[in-house]
Structure 1
């Protein structure tokens, strides 16, 4: 696959995962935990897709600079990493909201 398409695939999957994670937070504030958990699961699937592409790029590069490092590639990597952090934090916040709602 062309590098631009690969990079856009990472960005699109990461963006979808981030949106789903924030949707899960909104649902958990409304105490709709089943729907929140589903959104988090969907976010994890999107992250896994993006991470698989990232891993393939790393394997292709083999630490030898075979994959050109463009600004959009850096953006895609940054987008994925911040999305992973957002999703992990959303998981914790949803869990806290569940705990608080049970008191």
Structure 2
């Protein structure tokens, strides 16, 4: 496996782990454990940083290449980007859901 493929798989793996933590946070919301949910979202955000670092490294490599030697765009890379973006979206949406549910409980 090439170094490029390893970096791409690192993005996929980190994004998947982050998304799993975000859905665990959603479960905590259903249990009205907002503090636990926020803690899991922080873990998800920290894991996302791993994916972000790998992505940034790939972007840096691409920008440092001559025009004739660009990094190849593969289905695997597109898949990694999709996972990374969806993990961020899930995390952000679940964070907003916490805000909504917490505000409704305060008003009770």
Same fold by TM-score greater than 0.5: yes
1:16-69 deviations in Å (ceiling 9; x for gaps)? 111111111110121111110110000001111101110111011018462221
RMSD between aligned residues: 1.5
- In our comparison, the structure showing a higher alpha carbon Rg is 2
Aligned residue in 2 for 1:24: 25
How far apart are the structure 2 equivalents of 1:60 and 1:12? Answer: 20
Corresponding pairs, count: 103
Are 2:61 and 1:57 equivalent residues in the alignment?
Answer: no
Normalization by structure 1: what TM-score?
Answer: 0.92
Normalization by structure 2: what TM-score?
Answer: 0.88
| Kept after mapping to 2: 8 A contact 1:28/1:98 | no
Unpaired runs of 5+ residues, structure 1, are: none
| Kept after mapping to 2: 8 A contact 1:29/1:97 | no
Which residue, 92, 97, 100 being the options, matches 2:96? Answer: 92
Unpaired runs of 5+ residues, structure 2, are: none
How far apart are the structure 2 equivalents of 1:3 and 1:25? Answer: 33
How far apart are the structure 2 equivalents of 1:101 and 1:30? Answer: 13
